[in-house]
């Protein structure tokens, strides 16, 4: 299985050229509330990209340079995390929101140490558990500011994370990790994706471009539903790339929404 994966990796590296797994944008200095809110949404989604990269390294894959992307991304993500926390805690008086960011910081500090160490199966399971706790806390920390269309940015983030989470669970199983409650977890992700998609399709900020992108995201998600039900083995490298491609589609939708949110 491993040797087959590596042969496929080589073919795609040659044909596609050298591509990084993901890029983490720096904190937007002098950004608006919309900019910072959107960046906080990126923190949630890109925690999943880092976990995916960690697992790909564990699978001994160099496809899309997960090791280099993770090494470059961690310090930028860490700095961005602290700046976002500082921004929202200075802007909001909600004690639960402030506490949420403190709790998220503790989880991130533990997770950062794991991400910086050589990948292990136990580490992957801990990161999956940690990020499943951290993401809702980041959402709670910015929730009091989620008005005037900003809540749509949170929804797009959920749409983006669904394929990423399914990919992560699949890659973990390829690595030989027994994922707790795998079937229930995947079914919950699939149900949530369609619910969030339906809500986004109904919002008034849509235009021809966002409708086309939402349709593209929906069509792409069919692959993950089929993968979950299929008995055949899917190539990890292709799954990893497909999840990152979905991330780009959702970022394009966010960009269109942000143009119409005046905050």
> Does the pLDDT at position 3 exceed 70?
no
Residue numbers of the domain that contains 38: 2-260
Please give the radius of gyration of the chain, using alpha carbons only, rounded to the nearest integer. 18
How many domains are there within the chain?
1
Token digits of residue 205: 């900020």
First-to-last alpha carbon distance for the chain, in angstroms, is 51
Taking only the tens place, the pLDDT of each residue in 152-204 is 999 999 999 999 999 999 999 999 999 999 999 999 999 999 999 999 999 99
* Contact of 162 with 89, CB cutoff 8 Å: no
| CA–CA distance, 223 with 38 (Å, rounded to integer) | 27
Token digits of residue 113: 């140490």
Residue 144: count other Cβ atoms within 10 Å of its Cβ.
Answer: 15
Taking only the tens place, the pLDDT of each residue in 219-255 is 999 988 888 887 777 788 888 888 999 999 999 999 9
Q: Name the pTM for this structure.
A: 0.90
Is 56 buried (19+), middle (13-18) or exposed (0-12) by CB count in 10 A?
A: buried
Half-sphere exposure of 166 (CA within 13 A, CB side): 31
| CA–CA distance, 32 with 258 (Å, rounded to integer) | 11
Q: Which helix (H) or strand (E) holds 206?
A: none
**Residue 25 φ then ψ, to 5°:** -70, 145
> Dihedral (C-alpha) 218, 219, 225, 230: value to the nearest 10 degrees?
-170
Q: At what angle do helices 33-58 and 236-260 cross, to 10 degrees?
A: 180
Residue 201: count other Cβ atoms within 10 Å of its Cβ.
Answer: 13
* Long-range CB contacts (within 8 A, 24+) of 102-105: 103/137, 104/134, 104/137, 104/138, 104/141, 105/81
CA 40 to chain centre: 12
Taking only the tens place, the pLDDT of each residue in 98-148 is 999 999 999 999 999 999 999 999 999 999 999 999 999 999 999 999 888
| CA–CA distance, 174 with 188 (Å, rounded to integer) | 21
């Amino acid at each position: 299985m491993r040797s087959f994966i590596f042969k496929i990796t080589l073919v795609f590296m040659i044909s596609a050229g050298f591509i990084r797994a993901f890029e983490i944008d720096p904190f937007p200095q002098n950004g608006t509330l919309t900019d910072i809110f959107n960046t906080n949404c990126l923190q949630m989604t890109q925690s999943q990209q880092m976990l995916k990269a960690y697992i790909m390294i564990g699978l001994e894959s160099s496809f899309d340079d997960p090791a280099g992307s993770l090494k470059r991304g961690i310090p930028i993500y860490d700095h961005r995390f602290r700046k976002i926390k500082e921004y929202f805690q200075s802007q909001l008086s909600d004690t639960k929101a402030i506490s949420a960011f403190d709790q998220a910081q503790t989880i991130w500090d533990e997770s950062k140490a794991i991400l910086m160490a050589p990948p292990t199966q136990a580490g992957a399971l801990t990161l999956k558990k940690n990020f499943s706790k951290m993401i809702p806390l980041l959402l709670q920390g910015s929730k009091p500011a989620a008005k005037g269309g900003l809540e749509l940015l949170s929804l797009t983030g959920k749409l983006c994370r669904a394929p990423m989470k399914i990919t992560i669970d699949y890659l973990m199983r390829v690595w030989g990790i027994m994922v707790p409650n795998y079937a229930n977890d995947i079914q919950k992700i699939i149900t949530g994706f369609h619910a969030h998609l339906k809500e986004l399709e109904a919002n008034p900020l849509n235009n021809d471009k966002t409708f086309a992108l939402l349709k593209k995201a929906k069509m792409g998600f069919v692959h993950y539903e089929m993968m979950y039900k299929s008995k055949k083995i899917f190539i990890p490298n292709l799954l990893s790339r497909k999840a990152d491609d979905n991330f780009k589609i959702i970022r394009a939708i966010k960009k269109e929404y942000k143009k119409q949110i005046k905050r």
